[in-house]
Amino acid sequence: MTASADDHSVDHAQTIAYPSPGARARQFEYSGHPHVVVLFGATGDLSRRKLLCGLGYLVASDLNADMQVVGTGLDDMSNDEFREFARRSIEAVGARKLTPEQWATFAPRLHYVPSSAGPAALAAKVVECEAELGDGVRRLHYLSVPPKAAPAVISTLSEAGLIERSRVIMEKPFGEDLQSAIKLNDFLHETFAEEQIFRIDHFLGKEAAQNILALRFANGLFEPIWNRNFIGHIQIDIPEALGLDARAAFYEPTGAYKDMVVTHLFQVMAFVAMEPPTALEPMAISEEKNKVFRSLTPIKPSDVVRGQYLGYRDEPGVHPESDTETFIALRAHIDNWRWAGVPFYLRTGKRMAEGQRIISIAFKEAPKSMFPAGSGVGSQGPDHLTFDLADESRVSLSFYGKRPGPGMRLDKLSMQFSTEETNRADEVLEAYERLILDAMAGDHTLFTTADGIESLWDRSIPLLTDPPLVKPYAPGSWGPNQIHQLIAPHAWRLPFERGWRAKK
């Protein structure tokens, strides 16, 4: 059955006080409904690194204390064995550690049903957990499974009768081309209403990504100059130092473009490029993001550099003649009034020199310089506004200023901000924590719609049909040499000539 939109609109929030670790009680808006979270792929890598500790923190910090978690997966485990698995995972690789007191609060709320037990056993455990929580319980199904396994999970939920009062979080990539995305959307819509579906991109859950909206639309300093008249080009650069990490079975048929660009970099680009929404609410923001995707011109193979790090074909599970790209850089254009003629440069890859996550807005240089030759003006490139999407949530504005001393010599200076320097640094939520809370509240602001993802796959057709050959690059480098021709006459911001200032 398909749920009605009325049952799954954004919940009326209630304000609660919660104790941040090591700080006084704060105020936070959240949905007041108790939830049973059904976690598919509960023993997988994402669950180990992010989801279990994130759910634990939401419970232990009272952001949503009324929660029970039912894990399910291929491993045969008892409740106690799953709790021990979760405890060891959080301690070893969890993105956020739990104190002994927090773990003692969270552990009794963890349950496990092996997938081999079937839909009836899963349904019985969910009903049991709902009885413990009382009235008004909602269900949140998190599909931390490979994309090809998603239809089987949806069928399991349908057979188990767990569709009503539920929402579902879908992991990326959502499809692998336009046809598969349409097919998956059609399949989902046979069971779930669009309002129930949350296609996740954890990059948009980061504090710095949301700060783009604040800087753009709340400040008279930036809003008037956020267009082609003042901005020369934009870079979204997300290199990774890590390699495959034993994920060849997933990565070989996927590659960097499907894994990262469609599901992450284009989503971030939409926040940078979208028009002002009519209100700071999910439907208005989603529509403006979708307008960006519809305005994106088809990705031409000639505007793309694909790379593969040396040694990739020797990785376990990789075909010895693999053409899968582990690196991609591209030039994108948005065909609308605001961005006509402004190139967007996107780059990501594995086994690169550093792991970074930046958005860099390059402003046009002054049309005429009154400064004499040799003064230094223009020697270090244009002024930049840079967002760091790492957990520190930093922003930097670089500009030319006079060097102290006699004469007129100019140096590149910068003003920097970090949430770590504020008295609310302890309130920063990890991306998955924020997104899980938003899904519980029915808030689609930071998620992708069916129309949005289909638009992106449609614009990807030329590249997917005729991809350029992969170019080799050395592990620990910044990618193939061809990336410099791609961005000329500009230059890549990474590696930085100056590092971020460390917190004192």
At CB < 8 A and 24+ separation, what contacts does 414-421 make? 414/498, 416/500, 416/501, 418/392, 418/393, 418/394, 418/500, 418/503, 419/207, 419/392, 419/393, 419/394, 420/392, 420/393, 420/503, 421/503
d(CA 235, CA 229): 17
Token pair listed for 34: 């108790």
DSSP 398: E
Token pair listed for 212: 């783009």
- Does the annotation list 42 as a binding residue? yes
- Does the annotation list 172 as a binding residue? yes
CA nearest neighbour of 47 among 166, 203, 171, 138: 171
Provide the CA 500 distance to its chain's centre, in angstroms: 22
Provide the CA 180 distance to its chain's centre, in angstroms: 21
- Does the annotation list 201 as a binding residue? no
- Does the annotation list 243 as a binding residue? no
Please return the burial class of 116, using the count of CB atoms within 10 Å of its CB with bins 0-12, 13-18 and 19+.
Answer: exposed
- Does the annotation list 41 as a binding residue? yes
Residue 264 known to be catalytic:
yes
| Cα distance between the two ends of the chain | 57
* Active-site residue, from 33, 111, 141, 264: 264
Q: Is 217 helix (H, G, I), strand (E, B) or coil?
A: helix
What is the CB neighbour count within 10 angstroms for residue 416? 14
- Does the annotation list 259 as a binding residue? yes
d(CA 372, CA 417): 32
d(CA 49, CA 94): 4
- Does the annotation list 443 as a binding residue? no
Note whether 399 and 498 are within 8 A (CB). no
Note whether 68 and 129 are within 8 A (CB). yes
Beta bridge partners, 215, equal none
- Does the annotation list 109 as a binding residue? no
- Does the annotation list 183 as a binding residue? no
- Does the annotation list 88 as a binding residue? no
CA nearest neighbour of 153 among 111, 197, 195, 194: 197
The one-letter code for the residue type at 289 is K
- List the binding residues: 41-48, 172, 202, 206, 240, 259, 350
* Residues tagged active-site: 264
- List the binding residues for NADP(+): 41-48, 172
- List the binding residues for substrate: 202, 206, 240, 259, 350
